[in-house]
A and B are shown apart, each in its own frame.
Chain A
Amino acid sequence: MTNATGTRGTACAFMVIGLLLAGCGRQVVEAQPAATASPAAGARQAGSGQAASGDTASSAQNEASQPKPDAKAAGSRIPIPPIGSTSARLSDVNPEAVLAPTRLRVPAIGIDAAVVPVGADATTGEMAVPPDAATVAWYRHGPTAGERGSAALAAHVDYNGRQGAFFRLRELPLGAPVTVTLEDGSAWSGVVQDVRSYDKRDLPVGEMFARTGQPVLRLITCGGPFDRAARHYRDNIVVSVAADA
């Protein structure tokens, strides 16, 4: 029995290796045109006297779309699309300011709280939610409400025996309205799309703090079972809010 399995396993292994070698062979063949293209481009460069006169930028575009009969020599070059440029002056490189959220209102669970910008804790690398029950924190390195990506607002569910600003977050019904006021006085509003709980070890932080993608606001707090010795909740409760349609 073991013998039979062994033989089958060995045969299987050889098959896999065979396939693999075949795959490698194809890889080498594929790589060749790219390899020959480079010296050709070099030769082209040496004899740059034969270059097509006129607008090179547009000829580069032609190469990219269709090889023209009269551009035979140029066709062997690797087409590089025209590129853009930006100012490198120090004053122009400085990052643009983001409008910070200043107030969060969620009438369904009685939240009307001030929002403060926070960063990441220097030692733990976690979001630096301030040590008090009432404050809502905004992760200032990410987007603000309404911008592309995920704007993250977090607050304690409880802190030192007091109920926190997000104590009732887990009770939020789908469709509940949420309003965020920004520092210029403008407001962004949305409705609850999703209420979810994650084991903290599995919190998809890349998604929670995403800097690209559809604009979404996330309200984050703690929840689930509580470890009294470590004073630590097992889960994070995450409410996702999307803009009003």
Chain B
Amino acid sequence: MRWFIVVAITTLLLTLALPAPAKERTGDVIVVHGLRGLVADVYVDGQRVLEGFSPERTTDAIQLPAGEHGVEVREAGQPEDADPLLAGAIDIGAGDHLSAVVHASRGGEPQLTVFSNSLSQLPAGRSRLVVRHTADAGPIDVSVDDEMLASDLSPGRQAARRLRQPSHEVMVAAAGQPQPLVPPADVRLDEGTQTTLYLIGSQGRDSLGWIAQTVEGIASPPGGVPSGNSGLAATQPLPSGAVPAAVAGAIVMVAMLVRRRLTAAAR
């Protein structure tokens, strides 16, 4: 008994003292370009990681050590020491998956907004739709298939929903207004994928529109395959097999009785 307690305490200490796995010391960031009219060079921690980045594109995931990292955006072709058009810091936690969005602020200035992508596994058959407000526009109402997803969503905010069907219609209107700000977007969602829509552009300049980014690898397989209900292919006699056994037994007994009678009659 005593050794058991010792083992239990040791296990507890081990669990408490073990450092986090090494792979959890980095996070991923995707840069999303939602600022029309700018072809950009993107710098991370002073290094130019992407040249000639056009609007309405997203980068592959950049894996960075956990901690704070500097992001700078310059017009394409500008020297490294030129004043950046946009500079910001991204604080990456271990295991994070972030989207850093270059977009127009409420006043039309370049702005960097960082969103965290939830990478929780989706149940089999589901997709996740995320809508993010990154436009030069006031608060918005967002609906999916005529059902309200978020009302009065301010710039820099997001709303999300899990959905089953692949095809959806996303509508956006100025908060409290019935008329859509942009024509409804037809969105096709891939199962087991997170699709994020960014509202970009400017309400004042009538240039609002959508761009999208997907995150894969969060699918779950079905839990099983139910594919039979009648027992025609059963491999073993089962408890309810007692019934046929009793019938067989009865037949044998009747047969024996009949035989004895016949034998008696023959004598």
Which residues of A are at the interface with B, using a C-beta cutoff of 8 A? Answer: 2, 5-6, 8-10, 12-13, 16-17, 20-21, 23-24, 27, 31, 34, 37-38, 41-42, 44-45, 48-49, 51, 53, 56-57, 60, 77-80, 82-90, 93-95, 119-122, 124-127, 129, 139, 141-142, 152, 154-164, 166-167, 170, 200, 203, 205-206, 208-211, 220-229, 231-233, 236
Q: Is the interface of A mostly helix, strand, loop or mixed?
A: mixed
Indicate which residue in A20, A94, A122 contacts B14 across the interface (CB closer than 8 Å). Answer: A20
Interface presence of B221 (CB below 8 A): yes
| Min distance, Cβ A13 to any Cβ of chain B, angstroms | 4
Indicate which residue in A8, A83, A94, A227 contacts B60 across the interface (CB closer than 8 Å). Answer: A83
Within 8 Å CB of B251, what residues of A?
A: none
Known: A17-B10, A236-B227. Is A226-B238 also a contact (CB below 8 A)? yes
Contact assessment for A86 and B58 in the assembled complex, using a CB-CB cutoff below 8 Å: yes
Contact assessment for B238 and A228 in the assembled complex, using a CB-CB cutoff below 8 Å: yes
Fill in one digit per residue for B233-267: 1 if any A CB lies within 8 Å of its CB, else 0.
11110111000000000000000000000000000
| Min distance, Cβ B133 to any Cβ of chain A, angstroms | 16
In the complex, A183 Cα to B210 Cα: how many Å? 33
B141-149, B152-160, B182-190 - interface stretch: B182-190
Contact assessment for A126 and B19 in the assembled complex, using a CB-CB cutoff below 8 Å: no
Contact assessment for B227 and A232 in the assembled complex, using a CB-CB cutoff below 8 Å: no
Contact assessment for B6 and A126 in the assembled complex, using a CB-CB cutoff below 8 Å: no
Known: A20-B17, A45-B45. Is A2-B2 also a contact (CB below 8 A)? yes
| Min distance, Cβ B10 to any Cβ of chain A, angstroms | 4
23 intermolecular pairs with C-beta atoms under 8 Å apart = A2-B2, A6-B6, A13-B9, A13-B10, A20-B14, A20-B17, A45-B45, A77-B45, A78-B65, A86-B60, A88-B57, A89-B56, A90-B197, A93-B195, A120-B124, A129-B225, A164-B227, A167-B233, A200-B224, A222-B233, A224-B236, A231-B230, A233-B228
Within 8 Å CB of B70, what residues of A?
A: 41-42, 45
Nearest to B61 among chain A residues (CB) is A83
Contact assessment for B57 and A86 in the assembled complex, using a CB-CB cutoff below 8 Å: yes
Give the most central of B13, B14, B19, B197: most A CB within 10 Å.
Answer: B19
Which residues of B are at the interface with A, using a C-beta cutoff of 8 A? Answer: 1-3, 6-7, 9-10, 13-14, 17-19, 25, 32-34, 44-51, 53, 56-60, 62, 64-65, 67-70, 72, 79-81, 123-125, 164, 166, 185-193, 195, 197-198, 210-214, 219-236, 238-240
| Min distance, Cβ A133 to any Cβ of chain B, angstroms | 9
Within 8 Å CB of A93, what residues of B?
A: 195, 212-214
Within 8 Å CB of A236, what residues of B?
A: 224-225, 227
Give the most central of A82, A85, A228: most B CB within 10 Å.
Answer: A85
| Min distance, Cβ B249 to any Cβ of chain A, angstroms | 20
18 further A-B pairs in the complex, CB-CB below 8 A; given A24-B19, A41-B46 = A13-B9, A16-B14, A24-B17, A38-B68, A80-B64, A90-B186, A95-B166, A125-B124, A157-B233, A161-B230, A161-B232, A209-B222, A211-B192, A220-B225, A223-B233, A224-B234, A231-B230, A233-B231
